[in-house]
Structure 1
Amino acid sequence: MSQAVLDGVRDLLPGIRERADEAERLRVVPEASIKELEEVGFFRLLQPKRFDGFESDPVDFYTAVRDIAGACGSTGWVSSVVGVHPWQVALFPEEAQQAVWGADTSTRLSSSYAPTGKATVTDGGYTLSGKWSFSSGCDHCSWVLLGGLVFNADGNVVDFKTFMVPRENYTIVDVWHMVGLSGTGSNDIVVEDVFVPEAFTLSMGDTGRCFGPGQEQNTSELYKLPFHSIFTGTITTPIIGMARGAYAEHVDMQQKRVRAAYLGEKASLDPFAAVRIAKASSEIDAAWALLVNNIREEQAHVAKGEQIPLGLRLRVRRDQVLGTQRAIDAIDSLFEASGGRALTQGTYLQRAWRDAHAGRVHAANDPERALQMYGAHEFGHKVDPGMY
């Protein structure tokens, strides 16, 4: 079934690309694109089968995201972050899963995981308040996943949790006016003293050790992979897709380009141009190959019933942040060599340049933190809990 979804997604790419300007103008992915992706089953790739999902290989999901981002960076970004949320919902207690999908298995969720909210322990759950930024695709969703610190009666932090909140209990504040990823509608979410039942929460401590209550119902190996491996991959994959799209447009442009300053020489005959695309393509291919290889290694451990080694999980993060950097370096090199026409509004290349740099500032793409953790572990030092 995953192949049918991938084929369906590829059929949609011309239309998604045609709507890229519209996405920027609206500051949100056009409803037509979301509807088409829903109809071909994209948002069900990581959803449990018992809720009409496909429980697909995450590499299939990443492949679809990569292709979408190669047509429109904003649509690829929103598809990735919204499309991965069914994977996490599958880890929540059964009550929460039923609340999301029991009546409508096409329900979508957005998120904002930074713990900028405050939750206090109350009878049967928590009282949650706060303001969260960067909830990509929230206008297309009816639930949201929010990060928050849990405080006890003494005012001490006792946990860091993800809280699942329905649309009627939060407000979307339209603040998204950006030069990159401008079509993602990554607006603010505001919650004021909302009660969240215990069953609608997940401790990040549990997800960090690859555990969730929902694994009792959703027994697929898919749901035993590390949260931070799956989720950080959703941030790097669209940027790899943008690089692939930029590469394709650059090659096409250079085959048609005549360089007046060089006596009418065809750009495609410039040996330095050939070297440049060789290097860029290698960086893009390396970013993708390492992402896929690392997920495959984690899957192999899960298939054997083994705990995934910390070193491998840290390597996933190492290659994920460097994969982002490789893709951006490739885009920069191609953009710089494309000539003035690449600056024209409506070209994919200039948009990819803006979108990729916007995606780079996401917390999951902070290279120093991920690389420091990997290096410290290699030296035999204890690695503090973090995004691994």
Structure 2
Amino acid sequence: MTVLSETMVRPYEQPATVRSQVTVPLRFPDGFTSTAEVMTFHGLSDGQEHLLLALGEWEQTLLNQGPAGKAPLVRLHSECLTGDVFGSERCDCGPQLREAVEEISAVGGFLLYLRQEGRGIGLYSKLDAYALQDQGLDTYEANVALGRGEDERDYSAAAQMLGALGAGRISLLTNNPDKAGQLAALGIDVAEQVPTGVHLSEANHRYLAAKRNHTAHTIELPAAGSPANAAARAHAAIPTHDELLARVDALIPRLRERAEETERIRQVPDATMAELKEAGVFQMLAPQAVGGFGMGLETYVQVVRRLAQGCVSTAWSVGHLVEHVWMLARWPQEAQDEVFADGPAPLAAATGAPPGQAAEVPGGYAISGRWSFASGVMHSEWALLAAQHGDARMQFLVPVADLELLDVWHTAGLRGTGSNDLRAEGLFVPAHRALAWERLAAADNPGSSIHPDPNIHIPMATFLNMVAPAAALGAAEHAIEVFRELMMVRKVKQTVQKRQADSPLAQARFTQAYGQVATARLHWDEAVRVVSGSYGRRPVTFTDGERARYRLSLGLSGAASAEAVRLVLTGSGGSVHRLSHPLQRIQRDVNVLLNHASLTMDPILEQAGRGLLDLGFTIPAEQF
């Protein structure tokens, strides 16, 4: 920790000035983007080439920074070549940099990138300290063993940079009390200290513990032997977006081979589940702190879409099981400790149709009801059940083993989802496994204060509406592929062509179907773009117009996907209507998808029209 002398200059006593400003678009490896105004300075006290990145509505925050206004959010980030550039997991610098850019972009403020490698001892000395840490010293002891200070950083230049912009009152994004203390001593009013997330990996647990224990960083860590930490160690390697999609693409041929079996046994085969788990699919939305990947909407919906190119029932089941892991990460800590105890991807079915009834009893609630459409329940350990308690809708987390499973899923399509019913009568649920639906669904849900992963801060309805359209699009893409193969070899009766592809009318039909798939894809991309555009906000919210646009785009995407499948089926001959044929299965699956609330066009058109005309929805916005 740096000790400040009484003679240390304040930024207004030795002012710095801005020497240049340039706009730089930013893109991080996980796909997050932002735009920064990067500034350099004259007159910094240490002569170093420090940078200031102005993010979000930073100019407005400067205007609002008075005692009654919201101060700009500021992060002092010391350069870390190994963590920031090479992704080293020995520290948490890279994830903190990524987190800071997003958090500051959302509210407006500044990221100061300070050239103080290794807490001020330099890059080579930091790597020498790493070698000593490998011999058992902690990060502070290693610096001292090299004859350096535990932390040699001086934030005088940072105060000068803030002073040059007139940022005399700030909210400081940090877990480090020394940063706040130095800035205050240098004349900066630190109105609030905002903690950063805990970016735990197998390699940095000891490092984070040393910061907590040695210099009072505000970091909450699981014990070294706890299930959460074990999960983080076991799943430290996080694939990129492209790497995970490549794993899914490799599964598609086997999903097609098992599609008939999936339909016949009315659930996803165990072999498929094992391959999906091996690929890490179920942990894609789980927080990194419990060993998940913490990925975003773009990866999630692409996975569902590609799985549907192999088997729609599998895509539907997996899409919801993955989504429900994400829902579990929104619960309070006690419930999360229970469900994530055995790993980063607890499987849970969720249903609220129709909601049951709940009565408060000592220690919790007694719930009763019969719940339908519990997709994926055949592979689940937990169930998330909606029940009414007075005027409040609540969700209850219940072990599947405590419920009666009713085998009722005998349907024309999506047979392989195993979406059976669940029943309970007076089942006791402890209070820590009961949560008001309003809190669970909100952007500021209980889990959002536990996990920094951006996806936990997103309103729940945005993910719930994405599965059916993604599955329909993937199904239509598979159908057009099968149609093309048939056309190249099929001879149509009562025609002169040797194969269907040589017929001008067949060519026109193929073009129509192809165009419908392209239309479905464009609408789907637009919906994903609108939702992704909300990520930078805190809290993540939608205007009525934005909600109308993305819901309408999803509905139109589903309708175009279904029309493409219809065109394909009517031009593919009688043999495709055998129940075992992939096109027949696709048609039945898509027909069932169209009846899901996320693709039922009448209410979508009504509410979207009201939203687009700025008339206000006639139902609560979170239900649309």
- Fold-level match, TM-score > 0.5? yes
Q: What's the counterpart of residue 286 of structure 1?
A: 519
Q: What is the rounded CA distance, in whole Å, between the counterparts of 2:380 and 2:257 in structure 1?
A: 23
Q: What is the rounded CA distance, in whole Å, between the counterparts of 1:267 and 1:248 in structure 2?
A: 15
Q: What is the rounded CA distance, in whole Å, between the counterparts of 2:591 and 2:364 in structure 1?
A: 39
CA displacement at 1:308 relative to structure 2: 2.6
Shifted more, 34-43 versus 174-183: the winner is 174-183
Q: What's the counterpart of residue 330 of structure 1?
A: 564
Q: Is the 8 A contact 2:576 2:584 kept in 1?
A: yes
Q: What's the counterpart of residue 373 of structure 1?
A: 607
Q: What's the counterpart of residue 529 of structure 2?
A: 296
1:68 aligned counterpart, secondary structure = helix
Question: Which one has a bigger Cα radius of gyration?
Answer: 2
Q: What's the counterpart of residue 95 of structure 1?
A: 334
Q: What is the rounded CA distance, in whole Å, between the counterparts of 1:276 and 1:76 in structure 2?
A: 28
Tell me: CA distance 1:288–1:193, structure 2 relative to 1, closer, same or farther (3 Å): farther
Q: Is the 8 A contact 2:523 2:556 kept in 1?
A: no
Q: Which has the higher helix share?
A: 1
Q: What's the counterpart of residue 321 of structure 2?
A: 82
Match status 1:179 vs 2:412: yes
Give matches, 1:189-338, under 5 Å: 189-305=422-538, 307-338=541-572
Q: What's the counterpart of residue 385 of structure 1?
A: 620
Q: What is the rounded CA distance, in whole Å, between the counterparts of 1:335 and 1:370 in structure 2?
A: 27
CA displacement at 1:327 relative to structure 2: 0.9
Match status 1:356 vs 2:590: yes
Alpha-carbon displacement from aligned partner over 1:106-163 (angstroms, at most 9, x marks no partner): 3211111224311123344322110011111111010011122222xxxxxx211222
Q: What is the rounded CA distance, in whole Å, between the counterparts of 2:426 and 2:598 in structure 1?
A: 29
Residue correspondences, number: 382
Amino acid at match of 1:332: R
2:416 aligned counterpart, secondary structure = coil
1:18 aligned counterpart, secondary structure = helix
Q: Is the 8 A contact 2:547 2:611 kept in 1?
A: no
1:102 aligned counterpart, secondary structure = coil
Structure 1 unpaired stretches of 5+: 152-157
Amino acid at match of 2:331: F
Alpha-carbon displacement from aligned partner over 1:351-374 (angstroms, at most 9, x marks no partner): 000111112222332221122111
CA displacement at 1:229 relative to structure 2: 1.7
Q: Is the 8 A contact 1:118 1:150 kept in 2?
A: yes
Percent identity over paired residues: 29
Shifted more, 49-58 versus 111-120: the winner is 111-120
Candidates 339, 347, 358, aligned match of 2:573: 339
Q: What is the rounded CA distance, in whole Å, between the counterparts of 2:294 and 2:544 in structure 1?
A: 25
CA displacement at 1:208 relative to structure 2: 4.9
Q: TM-score, normalised by structure 2?
A: 0.59
Q: What's the counterpart of residue 257 of structure 2?
A: 18
1:381 aligned counterpart, secondary structure = coil
Match status 1:141 vs 2:371: no
Q: What is the rounded CA distance, in whole Å, between the counterparts of 2:331 and 2:419 in structure 1?
A: 24
Q: What is the rounded CA distance, in whole Å, between the counterparts of 1:370 and 1:120 in structure 2?
A: 34
Q: What's the counterpart of residue 276 of structure 2?
A: 37
Q: What is the rounded CA distance, in whole Å, between the counterparts of 1:315 and 1:342 in structure 2?
A: 36
Q: What is the rounded CA distance, in whole Å, between the counterparts of 1:371 and 1:290 in structure 2?
A: 15
Tell me: CA distance 1:286–1:198, structure 2 relative to 1, closer, same or farther (3 Å): farther
Q: What is the rounded CA distance, in whole Å, between the counterparts of 1:9 and 1:380 in structure 2?
A: 41
Q: TM-score, normalised by structure 1?
A: 0.93
Alpha-carbon displacement from aligned partner over 1:171-202 (angstroms, at most 9, x marks no partner): 21111111211111111111221222343234
2:423 aligned counterpart, secondary structure = strand
Tell me: CA distance 1:314–1:8, structure 2 relative to 1, closer, same or farther (3 Å): same
Q: What is the rounded CA distance, in whole Å, between the counterparts of 2:357 and 2:565 in structure 1?
A: 39
Match status 1:130 vs 2:343: no
Tell me: CA distance 1:378–1:15, structure 2 relative to 1, closer, same or farther (3 Å): closer
Q: What is the rounded CA distance, in whole Å, between the counterparts of 2:535 and 2:351 in structure 1?
A: 28
Tell me: CA distance 1:319–1:199, structure 2 relative to 1, closer, same or farther (3 Å): farther
CA displacement at 1:5 relative to structure 2: 2.0
1:81 aligned counterpart, secondary structure = helix
Shifted more, 263-272 versus 331-340: the winner is 263-272
The higher-RCO structure (CA 8 Å, 6+ apart) is 1
Tell me: CA distance 1:318–1:204, structure 2 relative to 1, closer, same or farther (3 Å): farther
